C-alpha cells in the first residue's frame, strides 16, 4: 500500500513551499492483537517493534512478569536493549528505544516523562535520557507502552505514530533543517521528537528535542536517531490508560500535592516553579561550588549578575511544563523560546567565564536548534578554551557552537566531545568528564556524595542518577554533611535505586525533593492494581541499576572508568570567602568507591557478580565483548 501526503515545510529562506512526501512503508504487518484491548491497568501491554530496514512493524505483548520486574521507561528499555548492548552504537541492529511508564497518561503527579535509550554514541555506555514534554503522554495515548526501533532507513525518514498505527514517511526534504523549523511543521501531528543538523553531521553529543523545548540531551542520543536515518518521530492518540483504583490514586495524589506545597525547592517563593531550575544558580554560588573556567575554580565572581532573577528581569519568562505536572519548572520567553535551564545557565556563564546574559540565551537557542546537549557543548568549549589558554569572547562562543553543529572548522573536532578533543590535543586531563560524559554544574569538590555519584554513574558524568544534591545541598529529606564521604556509599546506591524507579514509572525526579517512594508505591499500586510497597520498588530500582552495570561491564567498563578527572584530587576550589573548597582526598574517595561496590553487591573491582544477578532475576552475565570496545 502506498499513500501520499502533502506537507508544507520551511525552505532555507523561510518561505513556505509545498513538497510531496511519499510514504514508503512496504511490509507493514501489524499483529491482529494490536487493536485489542488487553484489559491491563497502567500499561497497554503493547510494544511496537519497528524495523526500518524491512519497513515493517509488529506489536509485541510483554509478559506481565517483565513489566513487574522492570516497570517501564528506563527499566523496561534497559531490559529490551540488554541482548544488543555489545553491538556498536551505529550498528543497524542496535535498537533505539522510546518507553513510557504505567503512570503516564493517568492523573498521577509529574507523570508526563519518558525514556529514550540506545547505546551511547558519545560514551559507549548504556545511553539514556529522561525527557519531559508531551511525547510520552501522546505515545501512551496512541496505544503503546514503548517502541523499539531497529534497522536503518535507506533515506532520511520520519516515524508517525497514531492510534495503533505507525507510518514511516520520507523526511529527506527536512535534511539539515533546524529543530524549531521542523517542529513548527510537525506540530499538528501531535507530540514531536526531532533531531537537528548536529546529529545529521555526526556530533557525538547530539540531542533529541521534544515539542520544541524539552531536550533528551545527554549521551548523544540524538545521534542514535541519525544512525537510523530518523529525522523525527511524532505521536498522537486517543487511548485512555486504565486505572485500577481511581479513588486510591486521588488519595495518594493529594498526599503528594501536600508534600509538594510544603517544599521550598518546588513551590516555594524562590523555588523552581517560579524561577525554573535556574533557581539553583545562586545556591551553587553561595555554596562556592559553581564550576568556573573549566572547573579550575569553584566561584564565578559575576554570578550575581547572571542569576535567575537577572534572567527574569531581562526576559520576563512565562511558566510552562511537562504534561501531567503542576510544578511547571520550564520557562519560555518571547516567541515561546526556551529559557536556559540551570546547567545551561551555569556552564555558558561560569564555566566559560562569560558574563553576557544574552550569550547564554543565544547559546541555549543554538544548541536547541542544532540539537546539541548544552552541558557537553559548553564543557567541550571550556576544555577548548583551557587548551588554547584563552577566554572565549561571547561572539566566539556563539560562532563555535554553530561550527560544531555544522561540522565546520574546528567545530568538527569539538563535535566529538571534550574527551576525544582533549586526547587529540595531547591534553586528556583537561576534559572534565566521567566515562566520556562531560560533567554538569555541581563541582564535586563541594559535595562529596556528588563526587562519588558522578564516578559510579552508569551513564558517566551525570548528576541525575543518584542526585545527592537533594540532601547535600537542598537538605531533603534531611541535610547531610557535604564535605564527608561518611555513609555516602549506601546513600548513593539507594539514591540510584530511587531514581531508577522514578525514571521507570515514570515520574519527575524533582518531585522526589518532596515526596518519596512511600507515596509513589501507593500511586503505582492504585494505577496498576499490583500490590507493592516502597521497599518492593527499591528492589526494582536495584535490579534496573544492576542491569546497567552488567551492560557496561559487557562493553569493557571497569573500576578504572568509575573515577573523576585528576584535577579534583589535586586542585583546590574557592578559598577566599569563608567556605574552603579543598581538593578531594583521593584515599577517602577510593574507600567510598569500594564501599559503594559493596553496597551495590559488585565485586571488589566493581564488576557484577553472577549470584547477585541471578537473585535479581537478571540471568547470566555476558562475556566482555571487547575490552577496548567502549573507547572506540
Q: Which residues bind another protein (CB under 8 A)?
A: 255, 258-259, 261-265, 267-271, 275, 278-283, 286, 304, 307-309, 471, 473-480, 486-491, 494, 497-498, 518, 521, 533-536, 538-539, 542, 594-595, 598-599
- Is the CB of residue 70 less than 8 Å from the CB of residue 44? no
Alpha-carbon distance of 401 to 27, in angstroms, equals: 41
Pairing verdict, β 330-333 and 191-194: unpaired
Q: Minimum distance from CB of 44 to another protein (Å)?
A: 28
Which residue, 35 or 535, is less far from another protein as judged by CB? 535
Which residue, 61 or 599, is less far from another protein as judged by CB? 599
**CA of 420: how far to CAs of 30, 172, 374, 435, 446, in Å?**
43, 30, 17, 11, 27
Which residue, 283 or 609, is less far from another protein as judged by CB? 283
Alpha-carbon distance of 445 to 131, in angstroms, equals: 28
Q: Minimum distance from CB of 457 to another protein (Å)?
A: 18
Q: Minimum distance from CB of 126 to another protein (Å)?
A: 22
Q: Minimum distance from CB of 621 to another protein (Å)?
A: 22
Q: Minimum distance from CB of 60 to another protein (Å)?
A: 31
Look up residue 55 and give its three cell numbers: 519497513
- Is the CB of residue 225 less than 8 Å from the CB of residue 231? yes
Alpha-carbon distance of 358 to 311, in angstroms, equals: 9
Which residue, 326 or 406, is less far from another protein as judged by CB? 326
Which residue, 391 or 614, is less far from another protein as judged by CB? 614
**CA of 274: how far to CAs of 200, 256, 329, in Å?**
36, 19, 7
Q: Which of 83, 82, 143 is nearest to 547 (CA)?
A: 82
Which residue, 304 or 410, is less far from another protein as judged by CB? 304
Q: Which of 318, 223, 337, 228 is nearest to 275 (CA)?
A: 318
Question: 441 — phi, psi (to 5°)?
Answer: -95, 35
Q: Minimum distance from CB of 339 to another protein (Å)?
A: 14
Strand partners, 191: 235
Q: Which of 60, 48, 266 is nearest to 165 (CA)?
A: 48
Q: Minimum distance from CB of 566 to another protein (Å)?
A: 25
Q: Minimum distance from CB of 625 to another protein (Å)?
A: 31
Which residue, 421 or 467, is less far from another protein as judged by CB? 467
- Is the CB of residue 534 less than 8 Å from the CB of residue 516? yes
Look up residue 464 and give its three cell numbers: 541525575
- Is the CB of residue 105 less than 8 Å from the CB of residue 145? no
H/E run at residue 132: none
Question: 464 — phi, psi (to 5°)?
Answer: -95, -10
**CA of 192: how far to CAs of 108, 159, 228, 600, in Å?**
22, 10, 17, 37
Q: Minimum distance from CB of 352 to another protein (Å)?
A: 21
Q: Minimum distance from CB of 517 to another protein (Å)?
A: 9
Which residue, 308 or 511, is less far from another protein as judged by CB? 308
Which residue, 476 or 567, is less far from another protein as judged by CB? 476
Which residue, 459 or 471, is less far from another protein as judged by CB? 471
Look up residue 311 and give its three cell numbers: 534572567
Alpha-carbon distance of 468 to 470, in angstroms, equals: 5
Amino acid at each position: 500500500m502506498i499513500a501520499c501526503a502533502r506537507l508544507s515545510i520551511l525552505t532555507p529562506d523561510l518561505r513556505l513551499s509545498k513538497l510531496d512526501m511519499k510514504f514508503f512503508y512496504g511490509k507493514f504487518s501489524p499483529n491482529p492483537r494490536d487493536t485489542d484491548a488487553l484489559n491491563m491497568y497502567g500499561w497497554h501491554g503493547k510494544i511496537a517493534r519497528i524495523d526500518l530496514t524491512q519497513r515493517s512493524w509488529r506489536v509485541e505483548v510483554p509478559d506481565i512478569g517483565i513489566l513487574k520486574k522492570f516497570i517501564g521507561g528506563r527499566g523496561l528499555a534497559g531490559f529490551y536493549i540488554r541482548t544488543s548492548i555489545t553491538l556498536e552504537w551505529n550498528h543497524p541492529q542496535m535498537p533505539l528505544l522510546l518507553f513510557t511508564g504505567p503512570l503516564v497518561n493517568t492523573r498521577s503527579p509529574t507523570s508526563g516523562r519518558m525514556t529514550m535509550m540506545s547505546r551511547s554514541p558519545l560514551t559507549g555506555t548504556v545511553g539514556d535520557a529522561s525527557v519531559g514534554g508531551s511525547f510520552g503522554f501522546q505515545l501512551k495515548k496512541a496505544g503503546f507502552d514503548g517502541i523499539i526501533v531497529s534497522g536503518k532507513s535507506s533515506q532520511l525518514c520520519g516515524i508517525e505514530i497514531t492510534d495503533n498505527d505507525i507510518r514511516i514517511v520520507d523526511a529527506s526534504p527536512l535534511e539539515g533543517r533546524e529543530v524549531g523549523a521542523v517542529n513548527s511543521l510537525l506540530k499538528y501531528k501531535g507530540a514531536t521528537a526531532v533531531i537537528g543538523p548536529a546529529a545529521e553531521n555526526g556530533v557525538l553529543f547530539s540531542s533529541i528535542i521534544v515539542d520544541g523545548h524539552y531536550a533528551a540531551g545527554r549521551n548523544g542520543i540524538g545521534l542514535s536517531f541519525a544512525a537510523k536515518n530518523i529525522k523525527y518521530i511524532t505521536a498522537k492518540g486517543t487511548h485512555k490508560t486504565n486505572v485500577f483504583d481511581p479513588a486510591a490514586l486521588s488519595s495518594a495524589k493529594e498526599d503528594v500535592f501536600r508534600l509538594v506545597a510544603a517544599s521550598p525547592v518546588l513551590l516555594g517563593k524562590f523555588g523552581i516553579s517560579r524561577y525554573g531550575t535556574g533557581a539553583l544558580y545562586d545556591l551553587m554560588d553561595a555554596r562556592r561550588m559553581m564550576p568556573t573556567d573549566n572547573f579550575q575554580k569553584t566561584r564565578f565572581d559575576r554570578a550575581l549578575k547572571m542569576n535567575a532573577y537577572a534572567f527574569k528581569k531581562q526576559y520576563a519568562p512565562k511558566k510552562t511544563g511537562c504534561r501531567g505536572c503542576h510544578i511547571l519548572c520550564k520557562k519560555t520567553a518571547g516567541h515561546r523560546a526556551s529559557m536556559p535551564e540551570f546547567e545551561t545557565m551555569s556552564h555558558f556563564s561560569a564555566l566559560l567565564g562569560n558574563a553576557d546574559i544574552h550569550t547564554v540565551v543565544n547559546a541555549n537557542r543554538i544548541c536547541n536548534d542544532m540539537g546539541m546537549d548544552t552541558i557537553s557543548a559548553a564543557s567541550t568549549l571550556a576544555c577548548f578554551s583551557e587548551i588554547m589558554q584563552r577566554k572565549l569572547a561571547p561572539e566566539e562562543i556563539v560562532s563555535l557552537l554553530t561550527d560544531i553543529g555544522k561540522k565546520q572548522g574546528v567545530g568538527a573536532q569539538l563535535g566529538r566531545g571534550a574527551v576525544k578533543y582533549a586526547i587529540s590535543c595531547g591534553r586528556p586531563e583537561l576534559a572534565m568528564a566521567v566515562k566520556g560524559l562531560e560533567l554538569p554544574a555541581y563541582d564535586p569538590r563541594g559535595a562529596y556524595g556528588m563526587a562519588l555519584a558522578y564516578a559510579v554513574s552508569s551513564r558517566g558524568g551525570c548528576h541525575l542518577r543518584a542526585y545527592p544534591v537533594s540532601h547535600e545541598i537542598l537538605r531533603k529529606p534531611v541535610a547531610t554533611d557535604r564535605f564527608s564521604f561518611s555513609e555516602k556509599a549506601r546513600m548513593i546506591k539507594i539514591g540510584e535505586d530511587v531514581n531508577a524507579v522514578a525514571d521507570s514509572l515514570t515520574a519527575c525526579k524533582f518531585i522526589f525533593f518532596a515526596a518519596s517512594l512511600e507515596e509513589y508505591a501507593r500511586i503505582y499500586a492504585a494505577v496498576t492494581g499490583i500490590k507493592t510497597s516502597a521497599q518492593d520498588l527499591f528492589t526494582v530500582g536495584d535490579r534496573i541499576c544492576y542491569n546497567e552495570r552488567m551492560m557496561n561491564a559487557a562493553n569493557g567498563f571497569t573500576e578504572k572508568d568509575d573515577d573523576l578527572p585528576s584535577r579534583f584530587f589535586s586542585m583546590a576550589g574557592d578559598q577566599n570567602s569563608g567556605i574552603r573548597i579543598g581538593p578531594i582526598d583521593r584515599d577517602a574517595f577510593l574507600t567510598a568507591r569500594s564501599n559503594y561496590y559493596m553496597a551495590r553487591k559488585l565485586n571488589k573491582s566493581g564488576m557484577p557478580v553472577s549470584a547477585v544477578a541471578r537473585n535479581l532475576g537478571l540471568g547470566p552475565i555476558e562475556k566482555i565483548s571487547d575490552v577496548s570496545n567502549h573507547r572506540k
